């Protein structure tokens, strides 16, 4: 049967990247998406903004919602201090299977815990399953209508501390209007918009960075 787009992306990584070299994996995926098939990775333009925020926060505890093929997982994990790990949640088993192989190809498997399942179920389990008290950095890149309910879940589960940084992809396209309204009007968050474009296109999109104030 015909291969899937994630499987073709993995083949492009195995063909064009160097094993153990995260930068070459990132470049191979961006090349594939610009020259072969568009795919919903955060991409190079928004990826550079992601890099700068991760570098600025230098987090000890990291959560990513929405692994897809592991592109942003690799971008984040390659910047983490030695001994720091990130937890990434993926709902789709086929995506997770490809992501595991791409993360391993980059040599970052020891810095990543990939968990399969819906965020609504997994978020309340995080404290006990992973011994995490609060997250320093959270990257939201999953179902756009789950951003708002899940940020409220983080608050209810006590997973945020004063200074926790949340970075949300696609706040313009496909768009997360309720989430934006909430973080921009809540007295508990300080929010800032980083304008960019939808990955590999000229369509307007951007990232919203929100700092929890407690």
Ligand X SMILES: O=C(NCCCCc1cc2ccncc2s1)c1cc(-c2ccc(F)cc2)cc(O)c1O
Residues of this chain, 160-179, that bind Mg ion according to CB under 5 A: 169-170
Binding residue (CB under 6 A) for ligand X from 63, 106, 180, 198: 198
Query: Is 169 annotated in the active site?
Result: yes
Per CB under 6 A, the segment of 86-94, 101-109, 128-136, 181-189 that binds ligand X is 86-94
Verify binding: residue 173, ligand X, rule CB under 6 A.
Answer: yes
Q: Which stretch binds Mg ion (CB under 5 A): 5-13, 99-107, 108-116, 137-145?
A: 137-145
* DSSP H/E element including 190: strand 189-197
Residues 85 and 31: their CA atoms lie apart, in Å, by 27
Catalytic residue chosen out of the listed positions 199, 205, 208, 209:
199
Q: Which does 143 bind (CB under 5 to 8 A by kind): Mg ion, ligand X, none?
A: ligand X
* Cα separation, 155 vs 39, whole angstroms: 32
In the residue annotation, 199 being an active-site residue is answered as: yes
Among the listed residues 64, 90, 141, 205, the single contact to Mg ion using CB under 5 A: 141
| 3-state SS, residue 127 | helix
Beta bridge partners of 138: 63, 166
Instruction: Provide the CA 52 distance to its chain's centre, in angstroms.
Output: 14
DSSP β-bridge partners for residue 206: 195
From 44, 64, 111, 170, the catalytic residue: 170
Q: Judging by DSSP bridges, how do beta strands 85-90 and 112-116 pair with one another?
A: parallel
Please give the residue ranges that form the binding site for Mg ion (CB under 5 A). Answer: 141, 169-170
């Amino acid at each position: 049967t015909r291969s899937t787009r994630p499987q073709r992306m993995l083949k492009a990584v195995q063909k064009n990247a160097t094993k153990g070299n995260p930068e070459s994996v990132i470049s191979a995926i961006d090349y594939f998406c610009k020259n072969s098939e568009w795919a919903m990775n955060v991409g190079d333009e928004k990826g550079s903004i992601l890099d700068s925020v991760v570098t600025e926060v230098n987090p000890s505890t990291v959560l990513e919602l929405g692994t897809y093929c592991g592109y942003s997982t690799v971008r984040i994990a390659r910047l983490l201090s030695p001994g720091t790990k990130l937890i990434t949640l993926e709902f789709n088993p086929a995506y997770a299977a490809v992501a595991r192989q791409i993360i391993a190809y980059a040599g970052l498997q020891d810095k990543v815990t990939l968990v399969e399942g819906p965020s609504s179920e997994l978020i309340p389990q995080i404290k006990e399953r992973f011994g995490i008290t609060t997250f320093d950095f959270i990257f939201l890149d999953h179902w756009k209508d789950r951003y708002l309910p899940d940020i409220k879940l983080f608050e209810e589960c006590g997973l945020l501390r004063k200074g926790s940084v949340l970075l949300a992809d696609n706040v313009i396209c496909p768009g997360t209007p309720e989430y934006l309204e909430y973080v921009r009007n809540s007295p508990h968050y300080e929010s800032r918009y980083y304008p960019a474009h939808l990955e590999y296109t000229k369509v307007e999109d951007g990232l919203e960075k929100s700092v929890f104030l407690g």
